[in-house]
């Protein structure tokens, strides 16, 4: 059964019948004998758009949904879209509420939640959260806690890539502990270099250094940003690749060692290391380079026994050489463009894999995955150009007026 995006809404009756048939099964019908355990209720430990996205997939598959919300999010839409909703982090600031692991697990246990989807951001790449779910007898919809830990540690992920034969950017073997180590690296490899947070991503804790005079200031800033964002200021250093293409490959694995890719996305257009435009597939990408990128992604995933959805990210230099940079062990914001061009519903696949289904059983075999057309995702950045592009808030009005004018 292929997990198609197109036609899914009109096929809910068929899915319900299919699900009813599946409920009577007690074992996986592949040659392996892992037990198939249908999911009846899913909590999304997140808010906003991604929570609603997962709720929609669950509803399509006949799975009951649970939202959690902070005191500040009482009126938010994701609370209204779920079958059940519960307050978490009482008395805490809004971000801290969604990071309150004990309270989230407590709500899940009290309300018979079978599985928790972390969404993206917040706890999605926290191995301690994945482990807390497992310890509580609640399934984590994502990779195993050990894989989340390995992929979340950028230095260990780099070492795994090297063992898998995947090319990496020249960089330190482990997190640096002082400024002098950064100075030593720059003396060996020259400038420019880049500081990166060892235990986080999303552009935070990243600082490019183009000359020696900038080294100390950027080291201190990168450390402070990483500490504030991830609770750990550890950094590692890499040679900075100038004007690269940023290409990422969507992967999907199951509990039986099967791993496939769903081709690539180009996210080279960025603002302050934050992706602004995502295109699937990448435009004018050499077919041989595409083959190398996808093969390396699958090999790396197999190296760690990767399960569920993930993204392997690469830089491609002006000579067409590619370098591994990181693995995001979660669903990404831009997963929808991949769904559009491959006609595969990634959230459906996440849920089915978590239940114990194999990719072949779901109709997800590599030779069946095809690209059809292009899809583009653009993100709105709320910045004020008159104030040096400082973050800004307010009502979005201009584009609405332009849209109404065009409609007339």
What does the alpha-carbon distance between residue 94 and residue 83 come to, in Å, rounded to a whole number?
22
Tokens of 104: 């989230």
CA distance 104 to 189: 46
- Alpha-carbon gap, residue 223 to 206, rounded angstroms: 9
Give the contacts of 287 (CB within 8 A, at least 6 positions apart).
none
Look-up: residue for tokens 């989807």?
117
Q: Contact, 307 vs 143, CB < 8 A?
A: yes
Of 128, 146, 148, nearest in space to 136 by CA? 128
Rounded Cα distance between 309 and 332, Å, is: 9
**Per-residue b/e over 275-286, b at no fewer than 16 CB within 10 Å?**
beebbbbbeebe
> What is the phi/psi pair of residue 194, to 5°?
-140, 135
Asked about 330 being catalytic, the answer comes back as yes
Tokens of 362: 């779901």
Task: Name the residue with tokens 């075999």.
Answer: 365
> Are 47 and 364 contacting, i.e. CB atoms less than 8 angstroms apart?
no
| Dihedral sign from CA coordinates of 109, 112, 114, 117 | negative
Catalytic residue chosen out of the listed positions 139, 330, 352, 357: 330
First-to-last C-alpha distance (Å) of the chain: 44
**Closest C-alpha among 4, 24, 112, 41 to residue 354:** 41
Alpha-carbon span 251 to 264, nearest angstrom: 9
DSSP per position, 310-351 = EEEEEEE-TTS-EEEEEEE-S--TTHHHHHHHH---HHHHHH
Positions marked catalytic: 330
């Amino acid at each position: 059964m292929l997990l198609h995006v197109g036609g899914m809404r009109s096929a809910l009756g068929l899915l319900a019948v299919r699900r009813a048939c599946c409920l009577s099964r007690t074992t996986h019908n592949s040659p392996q004998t892992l037990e198939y355990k249908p999911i009846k209720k899913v909590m999304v430990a997140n808010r906003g758009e991604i929570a609603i996205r997962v709720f929609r997939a669950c509803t399509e598959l006949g799975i009951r949904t649970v939202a959690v919300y902070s005191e500040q999010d009482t009126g938010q839409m994701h609370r209204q879209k779920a079958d059940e909703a519960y307050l978490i982090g009482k008395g805490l600031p809004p971000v801290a509420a969604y990071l309150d692991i004990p309270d989230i697990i407590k709500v899940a246990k009290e309300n018979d939640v079978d599985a928790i989807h972390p969404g993206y951001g917040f706890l999605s790449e926290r191995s301690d959260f994945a482990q807390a779910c497992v310890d509580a007898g609640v399934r984590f919809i994502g990779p195993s806690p050990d894989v989340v830990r390995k992929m979340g540690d950028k230095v260990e992920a780099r070492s795994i890539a090297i063992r898998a034969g995947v090319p990496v950017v020249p960089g330190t073997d482990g997190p640096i502990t002082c400024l002098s180590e950064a100075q030593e690296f720059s003396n060996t490899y020259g400038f420019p270099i880049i500081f990166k947070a060892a235990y986080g991503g999303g552009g935070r804790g990243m600082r490019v250094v183009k000359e020696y005079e900038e080294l100390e200031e950027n080291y201190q800033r990168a450390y402070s940003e990483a500490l504030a964002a991830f609770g750990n200021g550890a950094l590692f250093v890499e040679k900075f690749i100038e004007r690269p293409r940023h290409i990422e490959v969507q992967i999907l694995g199951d509990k039986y060692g099967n791993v496939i890719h769903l081709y690539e996305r180009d996210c080279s257009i960025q603002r302050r290391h934050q992706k602004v435009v995502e295109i699937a597939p990448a435009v004018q990408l050499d077919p041989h380079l595409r083959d190398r990128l996808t093969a390396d992604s699958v090999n790396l995933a197999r190296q760690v026994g990767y399960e569920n959805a993930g993204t392997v990210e690469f830089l491609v230099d002006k000579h067409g050489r590619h370098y591994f940079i990181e693995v995001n062990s979660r669903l990404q914001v831009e997963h929808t463009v991949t769904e559009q061009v491959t006609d595969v519903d990634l959230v459906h696949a996440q849920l089915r894999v978590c239940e114990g289904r194999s990719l072949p059983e779901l109709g997800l075999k590599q030779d069946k995955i095809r690209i059809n057309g292009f899809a583009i995702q653009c993100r709105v950045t709320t910045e004020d150009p008159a104030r040096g592009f400082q973050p800004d808030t307010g009502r979005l009005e201009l584009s609405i007026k332009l849209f109404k004018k065009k409609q007339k």
